Amino acid sequence: MRVSRPAQSSVQKSRENEVMAGLTTPMTPKDQANRTPERVLVLEPGRAERNYWRDLWLYRELFITLAWRDVAVHYKQTVIGIAWAVVRPLLTMLIFTVVFGRLAKLRSDGAVPYPVLVMAGMLPWMLFSTILNEGSNSIVSSANLISKVYFPRLIVPCASAVVALVDFGISFVLLVLMMFWFGVRPDLRILFLPLFILLAMLASLGPALYIAALNVRYRDFRFVIPFIMQLGMYVSPVGFSSARVPEKWRLLYSLNPTVGVIDGFRWCLLGGQSHLSVPSFCLGTAVTGVLLWLGISYFRKTERSFADLV
Amino acid sequence: MANEFAIHAEGLGKKYVIGHESQRERYVTLRDVMARTARRLGRTALDLMRGRPIVEGDELEEIWALKDIGFEVNRGDVMGVIGPNGAGKSTLLKILSRITEPTEGRATIRGRVASLLEIGTGFHPELTGRENIFLNGAVLGMSRREIRAKFDEIVDFAGIERFLDTPVKRYSSGMYVRLAFAVAAHLEPEILVVDEVLAVGDSAFQKKCLGKMQEVSHGGRTVLFVSHNMQAVQTFCTRAIFLNRGRLAANGDVRSVVEIYLSDAAPLTSTWVRPPGRPESLVFFDRINARLSGKQPHLQLNLEARILCEGKGPDFYVAADISGSLGTTLMQAFPEPEPFMRCIEGEYILNLEIDLPPLVPGRYVAHLWLGSHHTQTLDWVKDAVEIVIKESPTASRAYAHSPLHGFIAPVSRCQVTRLERGSPTVIPASRP
């Protein structure tokens, strides 16, 4: 297959030239009026789409519509509806505060009250885990769409990430209220917060895309995800500050991409007491980058066969 | 204009690998079972390492759903894709609409493609009609502006103004289908790919759909149209390709391709045999055989049915419905007097001879009914046997019959009398 590629592509090139030549022949004015710049599409086995990213841009309206659908449907036919976005982190935070703060006597850094510390870690963790969960199931659960129409499949997991972002926005209000209540005042570093939100999304999209693609072939991954999420909550610095991790393990620990994100959140929000260790942050971001690259490239490699397998 | 192709395909092929449970040695000994399990595990591990999908079953088989398909569709052509079930029609449409990629060969497409493989793709039951119009439109490739511009037209076509803000899960199935088709009907791509979407809804709605399709086909758009309905294909399409077992069996103008398809399709005798399983009543059809004889317009249909009676029951009688390709029941043959058979244990052969009216060429289906009273059904075999009529009842007619003008072409005579001075001239005309 690989050997015959060059020959094939030259055939293809000559055909494209023909096509271009066809377009330059004189047309009647009516023809010209009817014609928008025409797209010529070649379908071939194993052909990487040259204009994949442009295609993605062309399908942006579908992305918006699907994201809107996911958001609209998310809390349909629930009694308390959107309040779930508040209840979930609130309850988890209360349990953490009671179990770890009171019973296990975990302490916070400096002056920040323990509940605020947990909440500031809980929000990015929930953003991360929701995207991972929803994103990796998204392809299989929209099988009916995928087997009936074409669009760049990348849209589906990305749209489900938007839902997580909306949830995050709602629960963020809760954090703001808590910070008022406990008198925690953020400084100018809060301006960096959007960057860390983006980082949290990218960190989860990488693995989510990879697992979403694998999930189409091997449904085993459906069972892996809840396990990762349960474990991840304790492995990530949600209930404690990563300053508690012994110095010699710190770099190894920050291979977990959520560590950099959660530390960053606390650094932005909780004022002077929390600090961000630059080497571990860079390491986490690098891991995020690698995972994202792996996720996208595997997803793109396999997405053309989704419709056959899903 | 001749080389202005919209779709050009050469050597297209699509391979699927499917697995079977081997039938030969179905769990005979523990050793067999263990050996088989080990083999399967080994293969799964190998597949996993190579990143291949897992195939259930222990025997693999490669199936070419399509092989070596080449054709060209010019801009503005309306091309029918016909063939029996499993011939690869849907696979071809899926490749052309980019849902799946071909295993070999290539297709070049010029222009924006919209595919309509089912109606209502992406409809979400929780969302309202209004929301679903936008959702479905976007899924089919319309921009928001386009949908907004056509919104009123779509709602009007579907006739659901009052329920616009009701979740579609509360819709009746008819409303649902109407809304879905209304959105699809307002697509305006350069190339439209349609799979058998006309086979939905009640007959009034089907008529509306057929009308809309006709409008589309006159609108100068390139259309690929898959259907089992030969009348519809002949009405809308100028060209057709005939696929059979994944291969291109014919390609050309619609009339000759349909003719090839019909002559290639099922032989005149068609047989139904009761599938395994216990029937509910004491008396039932076991085997039905249909045979055509005679010449148009005096065709005769002979239905031969084997009836099994497994005990004493009420007297019963038999009726046969015949329906056309759109699923409409055309006639019922109801032999008299009734009831004419006694239900005493045994095996019976029933011969039913029906004089057919002059039916237009196409496929017809006979359904057989058996009961003791018209409200007391004992056995009812729907879609029992297929009857293919090839010969036209009107031998001299130059153009194809269309279902829009009915299934029966009665033999008709007319004469024209010219009223003028002198003696009347009589011109005999149109004799079948």
Those residues whose C-beta lies under 8 Å from the C-beta of residue B372, and which sit 6 or more positions away, are B313, B314, B315, B316, B317, B339, B378
Q: What is the pLDDT of residue A14?
A: 38
Higher pLDDT, A191 or A5: A191
Higher pLDDT, B91 or B116: B91
CA distance B281 to B310: 9
Q: What is the pLDDT of residue B202?
A: 62
Position B230 confidence tier, pLDDT thresholds 50, 70, 90 = confident
> To which H or E segment does residue B32 belong?
helix B30-50
Cβ distance B107 to A42 less than 8 Å, yes or no, reads yes
Phi, psi of A36 (to 5 degrees): -85, 160
Transcribe B289-331 into DSSP letters: EEEEES-TTS-EEEEEEEEEE-S-EEEEEEEEEEE-TTS-EEE
CA distance A281 to A259: 8
The 8 Å CB, 24+ separation contacts for A171-179 are: A171/A85, A171/A86, A171/A88, A171/A89, A171/A123, A171/A126, A172/A123, A173/A86, A174/A86, A174/A89, A174/A90, A174/A119, A175/A116, A175/A119, A175/A120, A175/A123, A175/A269, A178/A115, A178/A116, A178/A119, A179/A116, A179/A269
- Write down the residue that tokens 């907004």 correspond to: B148
Higher pLDDT, B372 or A212: A212
* pLDDT of residue A27 exceeding 50: no
Q: What is the pLDDT of residues B309-324, one digit of tens each?
A: 888 888 888 999 998 7
Most confident of A81-90, A169-178, B268-277: A169-178
CA distance A264 to A262: 5
Q: What is the pLDDT of residue B389?
A: 83
Smallest CA-to-CA distance from B103 within B61, B69, B147, B77 is with B69
Does the predicted model carry a pTM greater than 0.90?
Answer: no
Cβ distance B109 to A304 less than 8 Å, yes or no, reads no
Position A133 confidence tier, pLDDT thresholds 50, 70, 90 = very high
Q: What is the pLDDT of residue A108?
A: 66
Side-chain half-sphere exposure of B307, counting CA atoms within 13 A: 30
Cβ distance B107 to A73 less than 8 Å, yes or no, reads no
Q: Which residues of B touch A217 (CB under 8 A)?
A: 51-54
| Distance of residue A42 Cα from the nearest chain B Cα, in angstroms | 4
Position B55 confidence tier, pLDDT thresholds 50, 70, 90 = low
Nearest chain B alpha carbon to A220: B54
Q: What is the pLDDT of residues A192-221, one digit of tens each?
A: 999 999 999 999 999 999 999 988 888 888
Average pLDDT score, chain A = 81
Q: What is the pLDDT of residue B27?
A: 52
Peptide bond into B337 cis (omega under 30): yes
Position A63 confidence tier, pLDDT thresholds 50, 70, 90 = very high
Q: What is the pLDDT of residue B232?
A: 76
* pLDDT of residue B180 exceeding 80: yes
Domain definitions of chain A by residue range? 1-47, 51-309
10 Å CB burial of residue A128 (0-12, 13-18, 19+) is: buried
Task: Please state which of the ranges A4-8, A155-159, B115-119 shows the lowest mean pLDDT.
Answer: A4-8
| Distance of residue A305 Cα from the nearest chain B Cα, in angstroms | 6
> To which H or E segment does residue B368 belong?
strand B362-373
Side-chain half-sphere exposure of B83, counting CA atoms within 13 A: 25
> What does the buried/exposed string (b/e) look like for B377-389 if buried means 16 or more CB atoms within 10 Å of the residue's CB?
ebbebeebbbbbb
High-pLDDT (> 90) share of chain B, %: 15
| Distance of residue B228 Cα from the nearest chain A Cα, in angstroms | 20
Q: What is the pLDDT of residues B278-290, one digit of tens each?
A: 677 888 898 898 8
Q: Which residues of B touch A148 (CB under 8 A)?
A: 99, 115, 117-118, 121-122
- Write down the residue that tokens 């010969």 correspond to: B391
* pLDDT of residue A5 exceeding 50: no
Task: Please state which of the ranges A9-18, A115-124, A165-174 shows the lowest mean pLDDT.
Answer: A9-18
Higher pLDDT, B244 or B119: B244
Average pLDDT score, chain B = 81
Nearest chain A alpha carbon to B95: A43
Higher pLDDT, B162 or B343: B162
Q: What is the pLDDT of residue A168?
A: 94
CA distance B340 to A80: 67
Cβ distance B102 to A40 less than 8 Å, yes or no, reads no
Position B326 confidence tier, pLDDT thresholds 50, 70, 90 = low
Most confident of A30-44, A93-107, B300-314: B300-314
High-pLDDT (> 70) share of chain B, %: 83
Q: What is the pLDDT of residue B7?
A: 92
CB pairs < 8 Å spanning A and B: 113
Q: What is the pLDDT of residues B395-417, one digit of tens each?
A: 666 566 766 677 888 878 888 88
Position A26 confidence tier, pLDDT thresholds 50, 70, 90 = very low
10 Å CB burial of residue A57 (0-12, 13-18, 19+) is: exposed
A26 in contact with B, Cβ within 8 Å? no
Partners of B301 in beta bridges: B292, B354
What's the gap between Cα A144 and its chain centre? 23
Top residue of A12, A19, A65 to mutate, by most chain B CBs within 10 Å, is A65
Position B194 confidence tier, pLDDT thresholds 50, 70, 90 = confident
Cβ distance A38 to B105 less than 8 Å, yes or no, reads no
Higher pLDDT, A40 or A167: A167
Q: What is the pLDDT of residue B269?
A: 52
Q: What is the pLDDT of residue A12?
A: 40
The angle that helices A193-217 and A278-302 make with each other, rounded to 10 degrees, is 40
Q: What is the pLDDT of residue A210?
A: 93
Q: What is the pLDDT of residue B338?
A: 61
CA distance B47 to B50: 5
